[in-house]
Structure 1
Amino acid sequence: MRKVLIVTYWYPPKRTIGALRPAKWAKYLPEFGWEPIVVTVEPHSDLYMRHGTLADELRQGRVYRTRDLSLNELLYATRALSPVRGFARALSSAPENNPEGRLKSRNPLRRLGYLAYWVYKQFICFPDEAVPWLLEYPKIERIAREERPEVILSSSLPNTSHLIASLLSRRLAIPWMADFRDLWSQNHVLPRNVLLRWIEVLLEKKTIEPAAGLITVSEPLKRQLEQLHGKPTYVIPNGFDPEDFPNEPPPSDPSGPLRIVYTGSVYPVHRDPRTLFAALQMMLKEGKIRSRDVQIDFYGRRLNVVWSSLESYPDVRPMVRFMGEVPYEEALKAQVSADVLLLLEWTDPKAKGVYTGKVFEYLGAKRPILSVGPTDGVIAELLQETNAGVHVQHAEEILPWLHRWLDEKRAFGCPRWLGDPQAIGRYSRREQARYLAEVLSSVAKGAFSA
């Protein structure tokens, strides 16, 4: 069996969306002739495992672990020290996308903490918080020399994974593929200041120079990468694993409320539920529904954003439940048991080529999806392709769907799911591993072409 060396910072047991993609590839690649040799880190703390862990489902291959030297882990380890306690709290809870808004806080100490956080993210974490992982490079090179892989595959974020893989490729003359779950210097979440952005672009170009080709998750991101690097690029979206979901029929309760479930993080402005709340408030004021007719359950992080949004919609407040962070398996069970799954898309126009990983989990849950956000992005196209749900931008557009789902709930016990199984099946983790195996084989032959 041919070997591929996978360099990824995120990997089970760390419970992050970034760990799923490389872990599922490693799970299924042996079915298509490739043995995964995974290089990752040994968890240093419970920072990414406080609310459960991810299981490593590797069936064939090996996992090598180095020290986890992430700056985030270092900061988390010192959180009990009073001088850094507030900063550590900002790191673990503050959204990374709006430092300017946070600096407008009226609390001087909080503003100082947010300013320190901004400096930390902009200057200290360059190119990212995992940059100290480069100190483990000698060990990683020894692993690569012993295993003698035919291809190297690195996955980001963090982009330090690409720095390590680039060095390996140059020194060992092994072809390398760089997987971008998110973009690097073109990332919409953390725009650098002018000077750092210029340096970051140069660093990205120099790092990617020896790569045989690139992989990313959508056509818009593919075009951006090709424009920057001029290298052949494949699109392998994120996906879902049918084996993760409980094999249970959806609940049937005509007398119960229409249960809308959201799993994931919530962000002010860019990803918040006010559009849905506005639609429900309209229906309540018009007497079309009662508060007990609809129940909205939020699972995940930063739910304080939901609470703040409800201040403008007091009539909707009794319909909302805050479930907090739960283990991954419990989140999937919540999705399967929902009547409707709520998806909040990132509103920044620069993110129109970005899939949230949750949309693929929602496809696997086989429940109607209500997606709220801009209408010209890849998620709207995905839902149209799979017929797995609806995509809306304004509260008025939600009203007919809520009426329809309520009617179906009362008539059949749960809304009907009309997804196209064949179209959805293309996004299974197994099918994506099959395609990745073809890409790796092309790279190993030196016949890569997008």
Structure 2
Amino acid sequence: MKILLISFAFPPYNASGSVRAGLLAEYLLARGHDVRVLTAHDPGYPATMASSFPPERVVATGWLNVFAPHALLRRARGGTGGSQSTTRTGLRQMLINLAKGLIGVPDGQIGWYPAAIRAGRKILRGWQPDLIYSTALPFTDHLIGHRLSQHIGARWVAEYRDLFTENPYGNTPDWRQGFDGYVERRVLAPATACVTVSALLAESLERRYGKRTAVVMNGYDPTGYASIQPTPELDPRNLSILYTGIIYPGRRDPTNLFAALALLSPAERAAVKVYFYGQELRGVEDAARQQGVADCVIIRPPVPLRQAQMLQANADILLLLLWNDPRERGVFTGKLFEYAGAGRPILTLGCEDGVAADLIRERGLGKVLNEPQAIAMQLRQWLADKAAGGISPPPIEAKMGLSRAAQFDVLMRFLSEIGFKDA
């Protein structure tokens, strides 16, 4: 089968979308499919992700950052405006948000659309795919999939790693909701089917757009954990709790963990270190300081995926932050599956009745806690376990079926059901 994969982010650029898209391309090629990739060059992420997918099969185009003038203006003015009044700063931010809402339709990656369409049509002149497969967010990927599929009459499947109009982490203004819904209906109308990462999100897509939707969860890559070596970044004398990723202030929030640390005795607290590795860790240091536990928290810059996997496999506990909000119920963060692959217990804070928390409890992958008292009790138990010889990992069967390959097998069965032939 000939497959054109459309993904704004793709290796070597290190983003969550790159992981899934890169491994999917490798998987499809290994199964004998003729795979080509259409992506953006230098999409704004570090070029630190290794991939075995042949670069000659990748077409990476330039793109226009439609928000670049805003970023330049902020830098020229020294960030938010320094000593200007709160009223003027608030008014300027409101105008900036309005401008971004008007320009970034459907999202800030719309500046990739013209170059992607030109490059896509060039690819299609001498090679016609059986399937066009776009993976989003950004939703611009689906605009491109829609347009190119209409151009040659190819069947098109739209994958949602996150929803667009019902995304709990979306930052588009409320007044755009109706228009975005209209755009999404029009764009998805000719799609053959949809793919997403949880049953709740699939139900939403099927209800709103009438498209048959498969559930293909994120997964972990076993090869990333095949030869783990001890890492000096984590002090083995302490109970090490590790978080890798970004922080959403007020949503994915470590404050309850810091409050739990404050409940420990000074000796217990001195034996715990919480490591944060990431690019956007806004508010972590302030939250730790407010709870009086800043000495327990270590903040470090992001690291390449392979190094992150080594850190995860060497940590005592892996910290997963979810938003404690009903809108989080259907969200499966890719971080959960990385953590499962690392084989260390997961401490989850946030939404307790969503798909992620259910998976962790059902498979014995870790603990889902929110009350500082309960978290403190669990920390004491882990401290005792570590002192007694070590903290036991989750059972090996806990991660069965959660690898990327196992989930991509689910995708191939679905594609076969809707008329695509496997190699």
Given the two structures, how large is their TM-score scaled by the length of structure 2? 0.90
Q: Measure the CA separation in 2 of the matches of 1:359 and 1:130.
A: 26
- Compared with structure 1, are the counterparts of its residues 326 and 89 closer, same or farther at alpha carbon in structure 2 (3 Å cutoff)? farther
What amino acid is the match of 1:325?
A: P
Q: Measure the CA separation in 2 of the matches of 1:21 and 1:130.
A: 19
What amino acid is the match of 1:303?
A: L
Partner of 2:144: 164
Partner of 2:53: 58
Q: Measure the CA separation in 2 of the matches of 1:426 and 1:230.
A: 28
Partner of 2:277: 299
8 Å CA contact retained: 2:324, 2:352:
no
Partner of 1:338: 315
Partner of 2:333: 356
Q: 1:322 aligns with which of 269, 281, 299?
A: 299
Partner of 2:391: 415
Partner secondary structure for residue 6 of structure 2: strand
What amino acid is the match of 2:187?
A: T
Partner of 2:291: 313
Alignment of 1:200-349 (within 5 A): 200-245=180-225, 247-248=227-228, 256-284=237-265, 289-314=267-292, 316-349=293-326
By how many angstroms is 1:385 displaced? 2.9
8 Å CA contact retained: 2:262, 2:269:
no
What amino acid is the match of 2:228?
A: E
Q: Measure the CA separation in 1 of the matches of 2:304 and 2:229.
A: 21
Q: Measure the CA separation in 1 of the matches of 2:231 and 2:373.
A: 28
Partner secondary structure for residue 147 of structure 1: coil
Q: Measure the CA separation in 1 of the matches of 2:136 and 2:359.
A: 23
What amino acid is the match of 1:418?
A: P
Q: Measure the CA separation in 2 of the matches of 1:235 and 1:206.
A: 23
Partner secondary structure for residue 426 of structure 1: coil
Query: 396-405 or 149-158: which moved more?
Result: 396-405
- Compared with structure 1, are the counterparts of its residues 364 and 234 closer, same or farther at alpha carbon in structure 2 (3 Å cutoff)? same
Q: Measure the CA separation in 1 of the matches of 2:195 and 2:39.
A: 19
Partner of 1:123: 102
Partner secondary structure for residue 408 of structure 1: helix
Count, aligned residues? 417
Partner of 1:99: none
Query: 339-348 or 254-263: which moved more?
Result: 254-263
Partner secondary structure for residue 39 of structure 1: strand
Partner of 1:432: 407
By how many angstroms is 1:240 displaced? 1.0
8 Å CA contact retained: 2:231, 2:310:
no
Query: 59-68 or 210-219: which moved more?
Result: 59-68
What is the CA RMSD across the aligned residues, in angstroms?
Answer: 2.7
8 Å CA contact retained: 2:216, 2:408:
no
- Compared with structure 1, are the counterparts of its residues 191 and 259 closer, same or farther at alpha carbon in structure 2 (3 Å cutoff)? closer
Partner of 1:18: 17
8 Å CA contact retained: 1:225, 1:233:
yes
By how many angstroms is 1:6 displaced? 0.5
By how many angstroms is 1:18 displaced? 1.4
Alignment of 1:39-188 (within 5 A): 39-43=38-42, 47-49=44-46, 52-58=47-53, 62-72=57-67, 74-75=68-69, 79=72, 83-85=73-75, 107-108=86-87, 110-112=89-91, 114-136=93-115, 137-188=117-168
By how many angstroms is 1:149 displaced? 1.1
By how many angstroms is 1:369 displaced? 0.5
By how many angstroms is 1:386 displaced? 2.3
Q: Measure the CA separation in 2 of the matches of 1:194 and 1:248.
A: 46
Given the two structures, how large is their TM-score scaled by the length of structure 1? 0.85
Q: 1:443 aligns with which of 413, 418, 422?
A: 418
By how many angstroms is 1:170 displaced? 2.0
Q: Measure the CA separation in 1 of the matches of 2:222 and 2:54.
A: 17
- Compared with structure 1, are the counterparts of its residues 423 and 398 closer, same or farther at alpha carbon in structure 2 (3 Å cutoff)? same
Query: 323-332 or 275-284: which moved more?
Result: 323-332
Q: What is the CA deviation profile of residues 39-93 of structure 1, one whole-angstrom value per residue up to 9, with x for unaligned ones?
A: 112226xx312xx521232159811122222324x449x73xxx34168967xxx
By how many angstroms is 1:33 displaced? 3.6
By how many angstroms is 1:192 displaced? 4.3
Q: Measure the CA separation in 2 of the matches of 1:427 and 1:60.
A: 28
8 Å CA contact retained: 1:260, 1:340:
yes
Contiguous gaps of at least 5 residues in structure 1: 91-104
Q: Measure the CA separation in 2 of the matches of 1:430 and 1:329.
A: 18
What amino acid is the match of 2:313?
A: V
- Compared with structure 1, are the counterparts of its residues 119 and 57 closer, same or farther at alpha carbon in structure 2 (3 Å cutoff)? farther
Partner of 1:102: none
- Compared with structure 1, are the counterparts of its residues 343 and 113 closer, same or farther at alpha carbon in structure 2 (3 Å cutoff)? farther
Q: Measure the CA separation in 2 of the matches of 1:115 and 1:301.
A: 25
Partner secondary structure for residue 246 of structure 2: coil
Partner secondary structure for residue 168 of structure 2: coil
Partner of 1:400: 377
Counting aligned pairs with the same residue, the percent is 32
- Compared with structure 1, are the counterparts of its residues 405 and 361 closer, same or farther at alpha carbon in structure 2 (3 Å cutoff)? same
By how many angstroms is 1:117 displaced? 4.1
Q: Measure the CA separation in 2 of the matches of 1:125 and 1:410.
A: 53
Contiguous gaps of at least 5 residues in structure 2: none
